[in-house]
A = this chain, B = another copy of it.
Amino acid sequence: MQLTGTFLDEITHDIPSQNWGAREWARDFDAMKAVGIDTVILIRAGYRDRAVFDSEVLSDARDMMPAYDDLVDLFLREAERCGMDFWFGTYDAGTFWDEGDYRHEVDINKPFCAEVAEKYGDREAFAGWYISHEINAYDDGMLNVYEELSDHLRELVDVPILMSPYMKGVKQFGDEALGFDEHVREWSTAFERLEGLVDVVAFQDGNVPLTELPRYLAANRELAAAHGIESWGNVETFDRDVRIKFPPIDFRKLRYKIEQAAEAGLDKLITFEFSHFLSPNADHPAARALHRRYREWIDVDKSPQAAEPSVEDRSSITQS
């Protein structure tokens, strides 16, 4: 089982920018294709005062920074060139995190996604919506967002809807983490409301101890399946166990997580995310080495699609 999808981090939030332009992005899509990525997911269209294109809806609603470039157009063009599916992540106004105000998140995303649908909805690669608001347990306010956006998004462009929640695990929450049983109870209730609203759920896999991951993966898949929701895995390629937030993950952990996801019968594996943490073009040398380890492991060089690699492997150790 391989990673076949990745988020695209458009840099409006908390991961450092690599300051890539069109050339660098094109090179990285080549690298993604060379290791079998067929799906790219925009992690979000914007966050607070920053967005991936100059949206009229957002600019009318609040002070916005100029976008300068249209990243949605760039990402769609690259996805089309490489034969990939592109999923569009909604805007996050930040008001739910600040004040618990889910209402505004719905009210701004409805016209904003209409603008998106009009501009990009008929593009060949436009293959899915991703509701970018993340939850880690049953959350009434946020489930209202899912409920109110779901039908609206399908009416705009009738494609599947993805969500990627996290787990309220000890690696992120310490003493306030949910135990396994609580986690199951919470998500049982959450999936009851999510049934029919989302088509695919891809749990982030980095919040619980690695040796406990298998039972979480299995439980999550079962809960989702009981409500007709497909399960992908969001295999994080960054490391949550070190002092720096966040470097590329140790390959041994990545391999273990992929093996466990296969064991749990997940339908597809995506990652957050290729370009910073797993790419031969990434800033961090450890990401380039992770790419080498990953390619050795998936033996991509012997598979037909990689016979003539479209990207020069910049990560060879004599060059990096």
Write the nearest CB–CB distance from A13 to chain B, whole angstroms: 8
- Interface stretch of the complex, out of A62-70, A149-157, A226-234: A62-70
User: CB-defined interface of A4-35 with B at 8 Å, one 1/0 digit per residue?
Assistant: 00000001001111111101100100000000
- Does the CB pair B68–A19 fall under 8 Å? no
- Does the CB pair A242–B14 fall under 8 Å? yes
From B14, B27, B251, give the contact of A19 (CB < 8 A).
B251
Asked if A209 is at the interface of the complex by the 8 Å CB criterion, the answer is yes
Copies of this chain, complex-wide, total 3
Tell me which residues across on chain B come within 8 A of A49, comparing CB atoms: 209-211
User: CB-defined interface of A165-186 with B at 8 Å, one 1/0 digit per residue?
Assistant: 0000000000000000000000
Say whether chain A's binding surface is mostly helix, strand, loop, or mixed: loop
Tell me which residues across on chain B come within 8 A of A11, comparing CB atoms: 250
Chain A's interface size range is 35 or more
Write the nearest CB–CB distance from A203 to chain B, whole angstroms: 20
- Which A residues from 57 to 104 make CB contacts under 8 A with B? 63-68
From B19, B66, B67, B243, give the contact of A246 (CB < 8 A).
B243
- Which A residues from 247 to 263 make CB contacts under 8 A with B? 247-253, 255-256
9 A–B pairs (Cβ distance < 8 Å), ordered by A: A16-B242, A17-B249, A18-B285, A21-B293, A49-B210, A64-B211, A65-B256, A244-B244, A284-B285
A positions within 8 Å CB-CB of B = 11, 14-21, 23-24, 27, 49-50, 63-68, 209-211, 239, 241-253, 255-256, 283-286, 289-290, 292-293, 296, 317
